[in-house]
A and B are shown apart, each in its own frame.
Chain A
Amino acid sequence: MSREPHKIDNDIQLPRHVKPNDPRLKLSETAVDLARDRQAALRTHFGLKKFRPGQAEAIDSLQQGRNGLAILPTGSGKTLIYELTTYLINRPCLIVSPLLSLMQDQVGRLNQRGERRAVALNSLLTKPEKDSILSRLQQYRFIFISPEMLQNEGVMTSIQHCNIGLLVIDEAHCISTWGPDFRPAYLSLGDVRSQLGNPLTCVLTATADEHVQTDILTQLRLRPTAARKASMAMATDDQQNVQVIRQSVNRPNIFLAMRSVTSRKEKANELMGLMAKIVKPGIIYFSSKAQADEWAQRLSDAGYPAASYHAGLDAQTRYTVQQQFMADQLQVVCATSAFGMGIDKDNIRFVIHYHLPGNLNDYVQEIGRAGRDGQQSIAICLIAPGDEQLPADLATLPLPNDRQVKTFYETKQPALQTDMDQLLDYYKKHHFSEQQLIDRFGELRQERQLALRKFINFTRSPDCLRKTLLNGFNETSVPHDHSCCAPIGTEFSLSELGLAQDQHELQKTMQIPGWRQQFKALFSENFTNSNV
């Protein structure tokens, strides 16, 4: 066998193992360089060999100086996209993040990887801390910030001096879902972008149907590349264009199930029954903190290591619950929607919705926490009569009604004491007339009711749930089989899915070791034996 390399033209000699018809040979030299750069960065900074689906495409777009909107499912490694790009462009990255805890988590994760030049600028900082950080902001590589903090002129001036190389909008669906009624600062991100000189922008979210995608791009004043092609004559500024990278929301390893019960009592029994036979760990979602607490207690009392997680708990408790769950000391977390963004646990086997989410996007986001390891997992909704009322109330209650808008506009100098006052003040300052605002909230109410209706229809659908779900995101359906779903009224078997667990080691209470044993765990035997 000849050891001579192949030749594809007179100038380039290929190594022996590369075939002349390899499609990669069609890549331009630049594309090859870019691919090589990101592959090297992946190995150096993350110790990984392969990108997950969608990551390379999103990074490639940013490497080429094109803004990117990456709609990639939960667990697909979205943070790696901006982290790796930041190392490649070697300029600071500004990440707009919705939750204080998420920001802290992300800074923690970067620290964990040895990246110390990361900071979170948010309302948890005291004034001296904030001033100190702002005075040396240019030293940081990753700056996490809340949209509200970007409204502060001093903060914005400091950021403008940082020569931001990449602007990231993380969990960008919040622009559409939270912006209009309780985080109006999300609606100013388009202004923020232009104040920063329209830097390269990376927009990330796990779920966005077409409506949410349009909202995100409109608020950020970005246009999808395809749209630009259609109206080339009008497109004068490449900074406004964005490449949309979308991966399917389908998670084939998550079995989708709808379980109908006749009353709340039966629902509680059903949940207890499921806990006795389902493989763990898992998450149960509730729409109220009190219910999450109550069920965590009930499950603990029944012998399942369980705890609650919601925004009402202090930071230390949230940290402990999260770490115990990661370390498999807890088998069940009873959570509100506050739990999840940023949770990176591979072996979650089930997500149960005890209360229904308000739309398909939230549902997909929440069930996506199961089965990140690719193993069989399950998402179950428990549905009792009248269950749709709670999400309906939660979806529309925060929106000011016509009378509240009128009263606010009639008051000459409103006190701005409540969140609602702040919200209305934001719109007033942005030149919304009273009627425009009434109409806007009316539209939002209708949109949310429609989204909820769509979700309720999905839960009640007698057809393949996966097909209905994918249709909701304008995706092509996949063939239904026994490991796909159990629509309402149909049975499913945990055993057949390999998710049944007959024997549980029930513990009435979590055992707390004595201090000497804990000391040994904390400081290792080497530093304990000689001491005791």
Chain B
Amino acid sequence: MNPEFLIRLLSASQPRRPKVIFNCLTGKRTVSVLYWALRYKLLSWLNVFPSLQWDTFNGAVNKLVQDKRVTVQSDGQLLSNEALENDELSELFPAEQRQVYRIMHVKIVAETTLLGIQALSHTIYHDMGYFPVSVSERARVQVRRWFRSSSFDENHIRDLTLALNRWLATMPARKADVFLSQLAGEMHPGYTVQQLSQALNLPTWQIDLIQAANLAAFAQFCQADTHGWRNLLSPFMDQALPRPVKQTLSAVQQGTTRTAISQQRGLRPSTINEHLLTAAILLPLDQFPYEKCVDEATRESIKKHQPVNIDNWQGSLGATPDQFFQYRMTQIWETKQK
């Protein structure tokens, strides 16, 4: 992980826990990680780098600390010494594209994209004796399925390339250049990140971010396409919420109490609470039934005894699980209000 990227995920005013940032980037979805990612305004980065290793991440932290660009507080939280604007990140990798990573099986989508396009390219050139990109067995199976899902005759291939071409034409040219540069096929071995970095005069971490954004955009294009691209990636795209969370949410929306859901589904009350907190964090404010989890009076009463900065709120040590649920739900509600 590049320190230049990491420092842009830190704040000069809000101390941030490195473990939360790491867990958010790698897609750990515990309520605690999700909540703090929300507070850090980093929730859109959830699962964007699932293969990131702790050693690599920690190496970047240490480099920033060594260079005195970041201060480690006594409780281990990090505070940036530079007020870097986040606009740069949003331009390279817009938040709406980052959010696609929440529902995407990242590694397999990347592999299937590479192999699928390579196979299409060689099919067009009638060259089936090509050297395939190195991908997992799962990606190979999926590309084979994709090819079996349609005739792949000249008309179908024309439809596919036409759709892809139109989509690329809607992208900023530089992003489209990067997208195709990292694909391999007939007459096109592709380019490395290093080569792109030199040719486009951009640091490698920015190329990585553009490419990550491109992958999300391509997944979105496939999902919306009606010419055959959808079949390529659809098995690797999930729903916005995990099924158990969705079931709990749906029951609450229909008026079932948390206790009743817990009994009906044979789940612990704490699990039901976690489902609801997860849904509240991941869904937009207007799509979650806050009133059915914590009423306005309770929210006001919790808020009344706490400081303005939500990060400084202190939960009671002796709180029951239910009280903690309402306390956390109020914090989420308050955060989303702002």
Contacts and interface: CB of A to CB of B under 8 A. Distances in A.
B182 A316 contact: yes
B149 interface: no
B162 A316 contact: no
Contact residues on A (Cβ < 8 Å of other chain), bracket = 35 or more
A344 to B, nearest CB: 10
B199 A133 contact: no
A509 B195 CA distance: 8
Most buried by B among A101, A133, A316: A316
Q: Which of B134, B166, B177, B182 has the most CB of A within 10 A?
A: B134
B157 interface: yes
Contacts of A113: 129
Given A125-B137, A523-B124, 4 more contacts: A112-B132, A319-B134, A319-B184, A521-B186
A426 B167 CA distance: 55
A33 B124 CA distance: 42
Please report whether the interface of chain B is mostly helix, strand, loop or mixed according to DSSP: helix
A315 B183 CA distance: 13
B138 A126 contact: yes
A509 to B, nearest CB: 4
Interface residues of B, number: 49
A323 B190 contact: yes
Interface string A220-237: 000000000000000000
A185 B29 CA distance: 37
B242 to A, nearest CB: 18
A519 B176 CA distance: 10
Contact of A111 (B125, B132, B192): B132
B280 to A, nearest CB: 32
Interface string A100-113: 01001100110111
Interface stretch (A74-82, A350-358, A493-501, A510-518): A510-518
B162 A129 contact: no
A114 B181 contact: no
A297 B138 CA distance: 35
Interface of B: 114, 117, 120-121, 124-125, 128-138, 157-158, 161-162, 164-166, 168, 173, 176-177, 179-196, 198-200
Contact of A129 (B133, B137, B157): B137
Contacts of B180: 515, 518-519, 522
Contacts of B183: 522
A133 B190 CA distance: 30
Contacts of B193: 317
A128 B137 CA distance: 10
A522 B188 contact: yes
A101 B133 CA distance: 11
Contacts of B177: 512, 514-515, 518
A316 B195 contact: no
B121 A512 contact: no
B184 A512 contact: no
A327 interface: yes
